[in-house]
Amino acid sequence: MSEKKTTIRRWTIEEALEQAVKPPPAGANASRQKKPGWAGPDFDVAVQMAVEGDPKSAIGLDKHLGVLSRVRHSVRTVTRWGEAGSSVDVGRFLAGEPECMAESVRARRASPVVRLGVERAVGHYVSADEMRATGASVLAVVEALRTAGIPAEIWVTYTVAGWEGHTLSTQVLIQEAGRPINLDVLAFWIVNEASFRRIGFAIEEQEPADVRREVGISTGAGYGHPEATPAADFDEVAPANSYQATAWIREVLERRAGVTITEDDQR
């Protein structure tokens, strides 16, 4: 058996699409095949949506998960100094500092940036509807974290492996922490099945011939099998499969945002 190895490619959206629109090799061109019920919109439409967004997939996120209205900014009590306040700091007063009065106020809790990977690679047997439902749940979590004041750097990942032990993880940065959020663009990359089966495939098709062979990327033999995203690259990794994502959603919201999800919330 060949020695196991992992290849990681990291792209911005612009870099990813620059790779994706290149003509695919003759033996690996599934990204352009006419499979609207499985791969989503045609390739050219998918590229346009990757830039402009998918507003239909962004509609009704609060209804889908049922938690956004219950998320509140995380706050704590902090002390602010000034020339007026409810109590005096004797040390500052004796030192002659004008701002010697203290006031306790509620302030938004500072949160560290969370590096979030959203895995979207699934098996060929997973329906487009299931991909969308799982992606919509994960997107609702991303929005819930933002609403709770937790900044996130968001990556979409497509991680596949071949039978020779070679894992390929394609990782696209779709949201920088602190930058304005375009929910429609996030919705395409996280929810739409064409994110993986059009754009992800197209990027993989541009890999060198030896990588394609070892990972199993060819029109006749498939595009490898889904593999776990290298966890060391991220603080959190959202799984692509619905049965795994359900548990992850509940756990990450409770741990990161202090929100408890009931069974009724996830129906």
**Which neighbouring-strand residues pair with 8?**
169
Token pair in block for residue 58:
């962004």
What whole-number distance in Å separates Cα of residue 36 and Cα of residue 128? 9
pLDDT at residue 141 above 90?
no
What whole-number distance in Å separates Cα of residue 103 and Cα of residue 82? 8
What's the pTM?
A: 0.81
Residues 2-55: pLDDT tens digits?
578 999 999 999 999 999 999 999 889 999 998 889 999 999 999 999 999 999
- Radius of gyration (Cα) for the chain, nearest Å? 23
pLDDT score, position 163: 83
> Residue 123's CB: how many other CB atoms inside 10 A?
10
What whole-number distance in Å separates Cα of residue 252 and Cα of residue 236? 8
Q: Is the CB of residue 182 less than 8 Å from the CB of residue 139?
A: no
Alpha helices in 53-127 (DSSP H): 55-58, 61-65, 90-94
Mean pLDDT of the chain: 85
Residues 163-188: pLDDT tens digits?
878 999 999 999 998 888 899 999 99
What whole-number distance in Å separates Cα of residue 84 and Cα of residue 111? 29
pLDDT band at 111 (very low <50, low <70, confident <90, very high): low
pLDDT score, position 95: 74
Domain boundaries, the chain: 5-70+111-266, 75-108
- Specify the higher pLDDT residue, 122 or 141: 122
Q: What angle do CA 8, 14, 16 make, to 5 degrees?
A: 35
pLDDT score, position 222: 86
pLDDT band at 208 (very low <50, low <70, confident <90, very high): very high
